[in-house]
């Protein structure tokens, strides 16, 4: 199969299968991009997600762009992004045309309550998987715990967290280099 068609179809499948936004896409990205296609590693995916959260736009779209670009250059980035966005655009357009007819329907409301609960479990599972690969030593445990505590008790922007964590990682590496 043409690699660009494969890239488009893989991300289109993710676009169709993901409910709940960019964070809910993480388990699907892990399975498809890391485990099945091997277009990125767990660590790269975590990096792309962090950068995607700090850059303008939607995390899932940014991540698709990063993965496509890493795999097949700028054209790959465009193809992956279009693959992710196209099914969403079609589905959202259809839903938008019908939503006013069903928005107050109790069955629809209850279905979305169940979907949101399922998405929470998917996100939690992805966080555990990423944590096993990312929180690997004392410095990363400390960074993780500091960010976790600050995220719970402050309204600091995620961008600030990522920048501070990057600086902390650089400081740790500089200290390790200085010691050896």
Query: Tokens in use for 138?
Result: 């004392």
pLDDT in tens, 70-113: 999 999 999 999 999 998 889 888 888 887 777 788 888 888 88
In this prediction, residue 158 carries a pLDDT of 86
Give the burial class of 78: count Cβ atoms within 10 A of its Cβ; 0-12 exposed, 13-18 middle, 19 or more buried.
Answer: middle
**Alpha-carbon distances, residue 113 vs 20, 86, 93, 95, 123 (angstroms):** 11, 26, 22, 17, 16
156 SS3 class: coil
In this prediction, residue 167 carries a pLDDT of 94
pLDDT in tens, 19-74: 666 677 788 888 899 999 999 988 898 888 888 877 887 888 888 999 999 999 99
pTM beyond 0.75: no
């Amino acid at each position: 199969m043409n690699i660009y068609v494969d890239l488009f179809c893989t991300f289109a499948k993710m676009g169709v299968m993901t409910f709940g936004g960019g964070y809910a896409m993480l388990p699907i990205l892990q399975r498809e991009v890391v485990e099945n296609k091997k277009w990125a590693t767990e660590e790269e995916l975590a990096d792309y997600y962090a950068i995607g959260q700090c850059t303008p736009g939607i995390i899932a779209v940014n991540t698709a762009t990063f993965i496509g670009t890493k795999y097949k250059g700028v054209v790959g980035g465009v193809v992956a992004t279009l693959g992710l966005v196209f099914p969403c655009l079609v589905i959202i357009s259809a839903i938008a045309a019908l939503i006013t007819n069903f928005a107050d329907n109790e069955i629809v409301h209850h279905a979305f309550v169940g979907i949101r609960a399922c998405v929470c479990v998917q996100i939690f599972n992805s966080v555990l998987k990423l944590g096993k690969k990312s929180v690997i030593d004392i410095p990363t445990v400390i960074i993780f715990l500091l960010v976790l505590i600050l995220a719970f008790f402050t309204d600091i922007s995620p961008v600030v967290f990522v920048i501070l964590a990057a600086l902390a990682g650089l400081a740790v590496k500089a200290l390790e280099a200085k010691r050896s």
